[in-house]
Structure 1
Amino acid sequence: MNGASELASGKGHRDENFPVASWLVRPELRPAILAFYHFARAADDVADHESAAPERKLAQLDALAAGLGGERSASAEGEALHAVLRARGLSDQHPLDLLEAFRRDVTQRRYESWTELMEYCRYSAAPVGRFVLDLHGEDRRCWPANDALCAALQVINHLQDCGKDRRMLDRVYLPLDALSAQGIGVAALDAPRASAPLRAVIAGLARRTGGLLAQSRSLAGQIADRRLSLEVGVIQSLAESLAARLQRRDPLSERVHHRQPEALALALRGGTAALLARLRLLRRHPA
């Protein structure tokens, strides 16, 4: 068995910024989603390990791919997800795309532009939502809105963690052209508080993220599965709130994450909005 567990962070699905296989999801599908999550978490921990050599990280990611392909004793997380995919007749393309993003995390530490960052999100974020949609048997016409939402969630995490990523991994997801336009470089992230130019960069990227969330707002109403629709509505509401906060707050020195009462109130609002969207759709298309 591979040594991915030696690089584990100890982080679990309840520690994530957004819901993972919450009680809203149909109970019979939660184990499959958690198998995907554990695979992704193992790969993320490998790519983000502070001291492991790049060669070791890439070898562990290859072992996860081997387990996903059905190779015995290669990777516990890969084998578990392989079994789920076979049992449900699903492709391994989404987890393979995800591994491409983690390989890039090992080898690439800077992104030149928003376009390059979005291309990264195509591999790092979109496959997660696409897997969940495929697992629920949803129409693939949902993919464009899904991809926008998943990219927005990814950028929100990047913005919240921009100081930590620079400090611990020398990894910067803020596009270099956005920093350059404000007359600064990645060293601006080393300060205990964001300078005015860095705040302008973060706020500008948060506004662009708001544009992605405008594109994804229809997703909850497009989803046929009622429970998944509600979960997506909750995630949309949480993301919109965080994107707005990042236009006002400094993630280097201020809290951006929601406290539990705030998150619950936003979840209720998001779930209600998803229900209303479904009702409007049913009135227009009763069949």
Structure 2
Amino acid sequence: MNTPAVPTTAAAVTHYENFPVASWLCPPALRPPIAAIYAFARTADDIADEGDATPAERLADLQAYATELHAVVAGATPVPRWASVFGPLQHALRTHQLPVPLLADLLSAFVQDVEKTRDATGYADRAELLDYCRRSANPVGRLLLHLYGVQGPSALAQSDAICTALQLANFWQDLSVDIPRGRHYLPRSDCSAHQAHPADLAARQCTPENARLILDLSAWARRLMLEGAPLVHQLPGRAGWELRLVVQGGLRILDKVDALRGASLTTRPVIGLGDAALMLGRALAMRRQRRA
């Protein structure tokens, strides 16, 4: 009996995203490893978040997923269940020497998502939320910098700022979806500071207090994005242009969150075709700012 070949190319991106993933702007040689990283993270996220599995089942699957990661790192043939993910990832690990601890950090964040949703604990303050982002978002940026051959404390700090800002923007974008599922990332200290009552948030009431809370958190994400934005000038050619669009995608979502003035509790803003020209124009302006 012939053993089915293990794929070495990740499937195309099918989930909605606020930013391009391994798009035509990405250097062609790097599209396969970037797609492999994305598939690894997206599949783990789906294990933690999608479907009707119990928390215990989700945690067991994430543990099996982590075990499979370390097995393929050691050279084992991927098991059939996740061969479409771990085949391409194993190829990327071999050809690009991806830092495995960054991949493991992603999985630890997904485990935390399940546990916090199960226990309804949420996040006490911004410091705790930033620690989550350090593991749930920042590893992706650092993996990309590794592929691009860009290193140094400044580049890593700017990458972390962009990735954290993207994660936060996604949180404030998804309030209308996450709260009914028993999950949200609104820090309790911020809620208290703005006198946003948990009952009103749970009921997704667009009160003045809730509006001020969301606008303040959106402004926090925007500051982080602008702190990281100079990184676009360190990436050459297509990679720099893709990052410009990533930055502008995050900022555009924050524009839409701000425009709703708290109504993102009931309405999920998204980026559409109508936003493309504005984002491209803003990306071109970033290029001109560098020349100035």
Aligned to 2:36: 35
Q: Please state whether the residue corresponding to 1:94 is helix, strand or coil.
A: helix
> Closer, same or farther in 2 for the Cα pair 1:13/1:134, shift >3 Å?
farther
Q: Deviations over 1:39-78 (max 9, x none)?
A: 1111000111352122221221122222222144163223
Structure 1 letter corresponding to 2:110: F
Question: 1:50 & 1:212 partners in 2: Cα distance?
Answer: 33
Aligned to 1:89: 97
Structure 1 letter corresponding to 2:107: L
Structure 1 letter corresponding to 2:212: A
Identity of matched residues, %: 34
Q: Verify: 1:136 aligned to 2:148, yes or no.
A: yes
Structure 2 letter corresponding to 1:210: R
Aligned to 1:53: 54
Question: 2:290 & 2:100 partners in 1: Cα distance?
Answer: 31
> Closer, same or farther in 2 for the Cα pair 1:103/1:47, shift >3 Å?
same
Aligned to 1:285: none
Structure 2 counterpart of 1:123, from 135, 140, 146: 135
Aligned to 2:278: 266
Q: Please state whether the residue corresponding to 1:197 is helix, strand or coil.
A: helix
Structure 1, unmatched stretches of 5+, are 1-9, 281-287
Q: More relative contact order in 1 or in 2 (CA 8 Å, sep 6+)?
A: 2
Aligned to 2:3: none
> Closer, same or farther in 2 for the Cα pair 1:253/1:90, shift >3 Å?
closer
How much is the aligned-residue C-alpha RMSD, in angstroms? Answer: 2.2
Structure 2 letter corresponding to 1:29: L
Aligned to 2:247: 236
> Closer, same or farther in 2 for the Cα pair 1:118/1:60, shift >3 Å?
same
Shift of residue 255, structure 1, vs aligned partner = 5.0
1:156–1:206 Cα contact (<8 Å) kept? yes
Structure 2 letter corresponding to 1:243: L
Structure 1 counterpart of 2:258, from 227, 235, 247: 247
Shift of residue 193, structure 1, vs aligned partner = 4.5
Shift of residue 13, structure 1, vs aligned partner = 4.3
Question: 1:228 & 1:106 partners in 2: Cα distance?
Answer: 34
Question: 2:31 & 2:273 partners in 1: Cα distance?
Answer: 23
Number of aligned residue pairs: give it. Answer: 268
1:14–1:20 Cα contact (<8 Å) kept? no
TM-score, length-scaled by structure 1? 0.86
Shift of residue 210, structure 1, vs aligned partner = 1.4
1:236–1:270 Cα contact (<8 Å) kept? no
